[in-house]
Each structure stands twice: as C-alpha cells, then as structure tokens.
C-alpha cells in the first residue's frame, strides 16, 4: 500500500486561473506533480510549494506515467496527475486508475472546465436555447481510433442539436461531410475556437459549413481546436428570441408566484 494519494486534477482548458479552487489547493500541498506539458500551461505550477517534484509527461508512454505515479505515492502524501480540461473526458482516466488500484494506490478525481464550455464562453455563445435545442453532444470524428457502432458523427448529427467535436480539427473536411450527409445546410453556422482561454493565443473563427475549412486554413489552425456546430450559434444577434420560462413573470415556480 502507498503512503499517499494520487489525484487526477482537471487543469481546465488553458488559462491557469480556470483551474478549480480545489485543484489549486491540491497543487499547493503536492509533493509531486506530473503534468501533461503538451496541453497544460506550465503557469499552473506557480502554486506548487518549494521542493515539489514537477515532471512533464509529454514524452512518456502510459506505462511510464503509471510507474512514476506509483513510485511518488510511496513517499508523498499528495501526488497530482494534472490533465487538460476534465479528467473524465478523453483523459485516459480508467486506463490509469486500473493499475493504480491493482498497486493499492488510493486515488481521487477533481473535475475541470472542458474546452467545449471554454469555447462557448470565449465566443459568448449559448449551447442551448429554449425551443431551438436543449441537447449537447460531446463527441469526436473517427480517425485512428474507431468510433463505436451508432456513434458516427453523421448518426449523431441527425439529431440537429448542438455538437461539440473534440480532437478533430485535422479532420475538419470529414466533419463538414458528416454534417452535410446528415442534412445540415451549407449556411448552417459553425464555430472553431483554437486554444480557448489561453492568454494571447486564443483564436475564434466563425463561419458556416460552406466556408469554415477555408477560414481555418487561412488562420493556420491545425491543432488544439474545438469545433462547434449548433442551431443556437449567433443567437445574440437574433431580433426574436424565445425566452426561458424560469424568468417569465407569468410563470409560477416554487420560489416565485406568477405576477399575472
């Protein structure tokens, strides 16, 4: 059994200030931190105490990461695996948790802000709107990792709700093709946000199915980008908008009686 606990902490989308208070507090108590240097800003390490061992995992294979965490948990009360976004989403959490469980290492998870939410915030967009769409699908397009049956982007796009497409900017042509095949028109709005929330590096590209690839190519966006397709995009400029019942003066709920 280890003497310490390994925490999987979501560092958020890029801006180190978007880490949770709990995540930041764990950094201040950590004896060892292994961070995903290809995606996590090293600025997050500014809260680490003197003497904390900090290592970058970008050149490590899964087995090396696990061995590092197990070894540090033998001599440190708090060990952090600092990951981009949220550990539960495209974070290989279970692949790491199983061998740690087998080694008798206690683990905990701290959620983080994922890039879909950071991208919507950067562009001042809502992923849901009353009577427009109330469903958000977080997914990716098939590349070297296959998709399960029934989860192709074309299948999911047939719902015509909000789609947040991760890990797919290099396959943007395939994304556009799937949307067209699912019946989305060429003028359907799309949003691509590169490095959402990263200070000085964020890029916001607005377009539609017909031109989003050309706009991203012109902006030289080829990595670390969130793709959003949604019937709710651009609603800030709509002259007519269905309002939420929650704040409707004629709508009664348990905290307020209708005024009419």
Render each residue's pLDDT in the chain as its tens digit; 260 residues. 668 999 999 999 999 999 999 999 999 999 999 998 877 777 788 899 999 999 999 999 999 999 999 999 999 999 999 999 999 999 899 999 999 999 999 999 999 999 999 999 999 999 999 999 999 999 999 888 889 999 999 999 999 999 999 999 999 999 999 999 999 999 999 999 999 999 999 999 999 999 999 999 999 999 999 999 999 999 999 998 877 766 666 666 666 676 76
Is the pTM higher than 0.85? The answer reads: yes
Do 17 and 34 sit in the same domain of this protein?
Answer: yes
Q: What is the pLDDT of residue 142?
A: 87
Show which of 82, 110, 138 is a domain's final residue: 110
- Domain with 36, as residue range(s), is 5-110
Do 30 and 84 sit in the same domain of this protein?
Answer: yes
Do 170 and 81 sit in the same domain of this protein?
Answer: no
Report the number of distinct structural domains present in the chain.
2
Identify which of 4, 7, 62 has the alpha carbon closest to the alpha carbon of residue 33.
Answer: 7
The CATH number of whichever domain residue 219 belongs to comes to 3.30.950.10
Rounded distance between C-alpha atoms, residue 175 and residue 153, angstroms:
7
* 212: three-class secondary structure by DSSP: helix
Rounded distance between C-alpha atoms, residue 48 and residue 26, angstroms:
9
Instruction: Give the number of other Cβ atoms within 10 Å of residue 258's Cβ.
Output: 10
Q: Under 8 Å CB-to-CB from 51, ≥6 apart: which residues? A: 31
Structure tokens of 229?
């397709």
Do 87 and 156 sit in the same domain of this protein?
Answer: no
Position 243 in a domain: no
The CATH number of whichever domain residue 93 belongs to comes to 3.40.1010.10
Can you say whether the dihedral through the CA atoms of 101, 146, 142, 231 is positive or negative?
negative
Q: What is the pLDDT of residue 37?
A: 81
Position 258 in a domain: no
Do 95 and 123 sit in the same domain of this protein?
Answer: no
Position 86 in a domain: yes
Instruction: Give the number of other Cβ atoms within 10 Å of residue 17's Cβ.
Output: 11
Give phi and psi for 196, each to the nearest 5: -55, 125
Do 219 and 128 sit in the same domain of this protein?
Answer: yes
Identify which of 177, 184, 154, 175 has the alpha carbon closest to the alpha carbon of residue 226.
Answer: 175
Structure tokens of 183?
């019946």
Position 255 in a domain: no
Position 188 in a domain: yes
Structure tokens of 166?
């991760």
Do 91 and 121 sit in the same domain of this protein?
Answer: no
Do 119 and 226 sit in the same domain of this protein?
Answer: yes
Q: Which residues pair with 33 in a beta bridge?
A: 54, 80
Show which of 79, 95, 110 is a domain's final residue: 110
Do 101 and 146 sit in the same domain of this protein?
Answer: no
Do 163 and 147 sit in the same domain of this protein?
Answer: yes
Structure tokens of 124?
């001042």
Position 105 in a domain: yes
Rounded distance between C-alpha atoms, residue 62 and residue 64, angstroms:
5
Position 260 in a domain: no
Q: How many CA atoms lie within 13 A of 217 on its CB side?
A: 7
Do 52 and 152 sit in the same domain of this protein?
Answer: no
* 193: three-class secondary structure by DSSP: strand
Position 23 in a domain: yes
Rounded distance between C-alpha atoms, residue 153 and residue 178, angstroms:
6
Do 29 and 96 sit in the same domain of this protein?
Answer: yes
């Amino acid at each position: 059994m280890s003497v310490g606990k390994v925490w999987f902490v979501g560092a958020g989308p890029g801006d180190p200030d978007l880490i949770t208070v709990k995540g930041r507090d764990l950094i201040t108590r950590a004896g060892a931190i292994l961070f995903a240097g290809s995606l996590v800003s090293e600025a997050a390490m500014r809260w680490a105490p003197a003497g904390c061992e900090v290592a970058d995992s970008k050149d490590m294979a899964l087995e090396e990461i696990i061995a590092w965490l197990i070894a540090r948990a033998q001599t440190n009360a708090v060990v952090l695996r600092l990951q981009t976004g949220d550990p539960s989403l495209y974070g290989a959490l279970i692949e790491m948790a199983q061998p740690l469980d087998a080694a008798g290492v206690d683990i905990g998870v701290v959620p983080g802000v994922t890039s879909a939410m950071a991208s919507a915030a950067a562009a001042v967009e809502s992923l849901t709107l009353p009577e427009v769409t109330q469903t958000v699908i977080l997914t990716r397009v098939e590349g070297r990792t296959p998709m399960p049956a029934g989860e192709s982007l074309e299948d999911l796009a047939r719902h015509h709700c909000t789609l947040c497409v991760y890990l797919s900017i290099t396959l943007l042509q395939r994304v556009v093709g799937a949307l067209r095949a699912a019946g989305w028109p060429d003028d359907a709005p799309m949003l691509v946000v590169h490095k959402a929330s990263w200070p000085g590096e964020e890029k916001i590209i607005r377009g539609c199915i017909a031109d989003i690839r050309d706009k991203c190519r012109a902006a030289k966006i080829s990595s670390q980008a969130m793709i959003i397709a949604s019937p709710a995009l651009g609603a800030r400029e709509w002259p007519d908008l269905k309002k939420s019942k929650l704040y409707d003066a004629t709508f009664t709920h348990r905290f307020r009686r209708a005024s009419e």
